Amino acid sequence: MVPPATQAPTAPRVGTPDAPAIKDPVKDTILTPRFYTTDFDAMAAMDLRPNEVELEAICEEFRKDYNRHHFVRDGQFEGAADKLDHETRRVFVEFLEQSCTSEFSGFLLYKELSRRIKERNPLLAECFAHMARDEARHAGFLNKAMADFGLQLDLGFLTATKAYTHFQPKFIFYATYLSEKIGYWRYIAIYRHLEQHPESKIFPIFNFFENWCQDENRHGDFFDALMKAQPDTVRGFTARLWCRFFLLAVFATMYVRDVARKEFYEALGLDARTYDKYVIAKTNETSARVFPVVLNVEHPEFYERLEKLVQNNAALDRADRSGAPAPVRALRKLPHWIGNGVQMARLFLMAPIRSERFQPAVR
């Protein structure tokens, strides 16, 4: 339950909903959302014929734009931010910022893809254009919610200054597929929980999560179909290794990040660890529909090792906040960096589950 506002100091007013202050972007870390770019020529040259019928059907779904009129703010937002206590405001604004940055990252990638491949691969370009539309809508809605707290992200500044990570197309497929599918399970889990516990609905934005997550699901289905149109991405020994790597990277990053900001989930009446275990299990199961292997997340060592990552991350954070000189901080952090590398390696080397065994009805 969210503590009454009278039990915590009032949050500092940095702006107003009508004139929000521009928030400084957070420092880039391994846990913050990344911006991506790729080989546009390789994307344009892709042959979609192996799965063109399914991709055309998904594009037709995008054209219908089911959520065209969904993200419309109403009177329930008026004054909602003022009802939150200082700590809840802090963790909720952090959630909004991370989510907005992530959605905006997707918009930039999809928009640039649609622009750069339009002449050579029009079906693929149209799908990316529709997804860019959805991601822009999400990012704008989140940024407007931040304005309720007197803050806003300068998305143009982020575009110009954020470091971009270059991925080969197949890596873009793995990363964005998992991002979209895990986003679906994250949003729908929160929505269903708050349906049962409306007293924990701290802000009206959660009323939009059911329709919102359907956008995420459709985007994930698109990348599923695209990988099937490029069968080398999901067939063979190398593909199995990369699928394992991206599943582990996405699951470990989410778990460490969410446990570190567990106060946000507590404000919603959720336990961060229990919530993440549910989302990981569901995303792992969903991924078996396209990935040749998935992780054995039920293995007793899986979460034991994730917890060691959590402990190492907390130690790294303490070192950063210690105020010690940079060389001293680096020495203090070294064993925890090594520890994280060891734990990730041992997690990666755990025997995976072949998807045809995990989900035979789907395969």
pLDDT at res. 354: 92
Note the pLDDT tens digit of each residue in 128-159.
Answer: 999 999 999 999 999 999 999 998 888 887 78
Which residues, in sequence order, are CB contacts of 207 under 8 Å at separation 6+? 76, 201
Hey, how many other C-beta atoms are within 10 angstroms of the C-beta on 314?
14
pLDDT at res. 3: 37
Note the pLDDT tens digit of each residue in 178-225.
Answer: 999 999 999 999 999 999 999 999 999 999 999 999 999 999 999 999
Which CA distances in Å does 295 have to 30, 76, 252, 298, 345?
21, 42, 12, 9, 14
pLDDT at res. 288: 95
pLDDT at res. 12: 43
Cα separation, 138 vs 133, whole angstroms: 9
Phi/psi at 77 (nearest 5 deg)? -80, -20
Spatial contact of 361 and 354, defined as CB atoms under 8 Å apart = no
How many residues appear in the chain?
363
pLDDT at res. 312: 94
Among 306, 301, 231, which residue's Cα sits nearest to residue 276? Answer: 306
Cα separation, 34 vs 62, whole angstroms: 25
Which residues, in sequence order, are CB contacts of 16 under 8 Å at separation 6+? 150
Label the pairing between strands 293-294 and 353-354.
antiparallel
pLDDT at res. 329: 86
Tally the C-alpha atoms within 13 A of residue 165's C-alpha that lie toward its C-beta: 15
The residues of the chain scoring below 50 in pLDDT are: 1-12, 361-363
Among 142, 229, 140, which residue's Cα sits nearest to residue 177? Answer: 229
